[in-house]
Each structure stands twice: as C-alpha cells, then as structure tokens.
Amino acid sequence: MPVTLDPLLTKSETTVLHAAASALDFEDGARTAGAVARAVKVNQQATPGPATQAVLDKVQTALLANPVFQAIAYPRHFAALMVTRTEGGGHYGPHVDNALIAGVRADLSVTLFLSDPARYDGGALVISDRIEDRAFKLPQGAAVVYPSNTLHHVEPVTKGSRLVVVGWVQSWVQDPAQREILFDLWQAIQSTQDPDQARLLSKSRSNLIRMWAH
C-alpha cells in the first residue's frame, strides 16, 4: 500500500536540499543494482562522500520526525539512502528491490522528489499490483513510501532532470498486511473525537505491535 508524505520537507528545506544534491558528483547508477535490475537501470547516483552524506542525513532526520512515516514504516533500520539523477532518456525498467541491502532486510522503499515536476518530462514512479499500475510524480519535497516487494519502474525522463532521494527501510513489523492494519488503526485514532474510543483503539494497536514486532 503506497502512502504519500506530502510534504515531507518544507519549501525552504527542499530548495536547500535540491541545490545541495544538484552540486554532487554522480556515477553510473547500475553499480549498486542487483543482477536482474542492472540490465534495466539507466540513471546516475551520487558518489559517496561528506557532501552526499549531509544530504542523506537531513532526509533521514526528516523521515524519522514525520508521524505518518513512523505510523506506516515502524522503522528499525535504514538499509540505505542514495541520491539519484535521471535525465537524457534515462529510466529504470520494471524490477523488485533487493531483499537484502547492505546486510539489512528491505521491507519498505522510499522515494523523495527533489525536482520541480514541471521542469522535467516523464520520470513518474509506477508501482504495480495485481489490478493496476499507479504512477507517482509528486511535488518537490513530497515522498512516497511503499512495500519493497512490489514490482515498480521509473518512466524515461525525456526532458530536464529528475533528482530524487531513494531509500530502503527494515521495519519492526515485517508483514505488509500487518503494517496496513496498524496504519488503519493509527488513522482511526487520529480522527476520532471520542477519548474512550481512542484509548480502546490505542490499546489494540499497541498490543498488535507487541505481537508482531520482531
């Protein structure tokens, strides 16, 4: 179940991060792809270094501070974060993210959009399920979080440059269906005006987390 964080960053935060990410050095993105994904990955990723890490640290801090992200992800570890750039017809064909990234199980994937969508053509993130494809081309500073076991792709960027931060998270709750139930309960708690109902829902959610977290 994809969930959008719109916005994750404020306008000023996005402006600063976009400028910092644009100034990074980039290398062939296929270097970190798995054997199957490497054949369909045509993009660039920021080379490791202090400047890149500073961008990624700000994104990780913003994610951990976001209550919706906490409610959908139950983050235990970040497997990885990286800045990627797609332009000149680049794309990322249909693939499933690696199950293990840097020795950490990837349960959820995150894409934070740093580029103004009006300044590039194409580049939508398309997430597939058994019924339909859902395309996400979000405003600057917005992010989408979705299960890492889903088939997805990035459409070719035919004009301009698509700059994003992508990442993978290991959750305390491994099962996507269980995470969806917990997220529904969290939303119900946020929306109810009845304090007794909120306490009962909170009790149920907490006890389910206790049962499912590992």
**pLDDT digit string (tens) for 161-210?**
999 999 999 999 999 999 999 999 999 999 999 999 999 999 999 999 99
Asked if 180 and 161 sit in the same domain, the reply is: no
Q: Which pair of tokens denotes residue 193?
A: 């005006």
Number of folded domains that form the chain: 2
Cα-based distances in Å from 29 to 113, 176, 197: 17, 28, 49
pLDDT of residue 162: 98
Asked if 181 and 162 sit in the same domain, the reply is: no
* Mean pLDDT in residue range 87-112: 95
* Mean pLDDT in residue range 94-102: 93
pLDDT of residue 31: 73
Is the pLDDT higher at 28 or at 10? 10
Alpha carbon 164 to chain centroid, angstroms? 10
pLDDT of residue 37: 64
- Asked whether 90 and 26 are in contact (CB, 8 A), the reply is no
Asked if 121 and 152 sit in the same domain, the reply is: yes
pLDDT of residue 132: 85
Asked if 151 and 189 sit in the same domain, the reply is: no
Asked if 208 and 162 sit in the same domain, the reply is: no
Q: Please state the pTM of the whole predicted model.
A: 0.93
**Integer Rg of the chain from CA:** 18
- Which CATH number goes with the domain that contains 43? 2.60.120.620
Asked if 144 and 70 sit in the same domain, the reply is: yes
Alpha carbon 82 to chain centroid, angstroms? 11
pLDDT digits (tens, 9 = 90+) for 32-91: 666 666 678 889 999 999 999 999 999 999 999 999 999 999 999 999 999 999 999 999
Q: State yes or no: pLDDT of 4 exceeds 80.
A: yes
pLDDT of residue 34: 61
pLDDT of residue 30: 74
Q: State yes or no: pLDDT of 127 exceeds 80.
A: yes
Asked if 7 and 56 sit in the same domain, the reply is: yes
At 145, the pLDDT band (50, 70, 90 cuts) reads very high
Is the pLDDT higher at 39 or at 5? 5
pLDDT of residue 147: 96
**Residue range of the domain that includes 75:** 3-171
* Mean pLDDT in residue range 156-160: 97
pLDDT of residue 28: 87
Q: Which pair of tokens denotes residue 8?
A: 């994750």
pLDDT of residue 207: 98
Asked if 111 and 199 sit in the same domain, the reply is: no
- Pick the closest to residue 2 from 205, 206, 179, 209 (CA basis): 179
To the nearest 10°, report the CA torsion of 155, 160, 165, 168. 10
pLDDT of residue 39: 73
Asked if 110 and 55 sit in the same domain, the reply is: yes
Asked if 106 and 151 sit in the same domain, the reply is: yes
